[in-house]
Structure 1
Amino acid sequence: MAYSLSPAPSAVERPPKASIRTFITTLVSRLNDLSNRFARLLAVREERRMLLRMSDQQLADIGITRAQAEEEYRQSFPLR
């Protein structure tokens, strides 16, 4: 019986499995992205709260009205 170096005809080529290092790197990257998004969300909410704490004179100095500040704050909690 002769042996051949080629794979058997019924063998299916499969892509190589990702290594555990690749998996962990991808997981850490996605967790960092999620953490950065959450931190940005908290920063934006805090900035919107600061608008509400400003006096009408301070708001006028930056060119917005009290109503615009309140509308911006409401965007922190979209009702859909």
Structure 2
Amino acid sequence: MAQTHKVTFKQSGITIDVAEDEYILEKAEEAGLTLPYDCRSGTCVTCSQMCLSGEIDQDMAFAIDDDDAEQGWRLICIGSPLSDVELDI
């Protein structure tokens, strides 16, 4: 069984549990959040969110460049938490 982490959406004040083998966007939608997305495959940047803290695995994030990733941008459609995470949304 995959480890579960807390994902906090700072601006909305909502925190959800997301396992390391689940995508943040899917679990957020299940919790009733409406977040921007388009491709759900890491090939656009519509779902891009600023990660304020924590680690997100996004190995399939083809659309995000190294500079954006270094600044903290993550694609939550294919992003899975590797620790507790806080997103600026």
TM-score, length of structure 2 as denominator length: 0.21
| Larger Cα-atom Rg | 1
Identify the structure with the greater helix proportion.
Answer: 1
TM-score, length of structure 1 as denominator length: 0.23
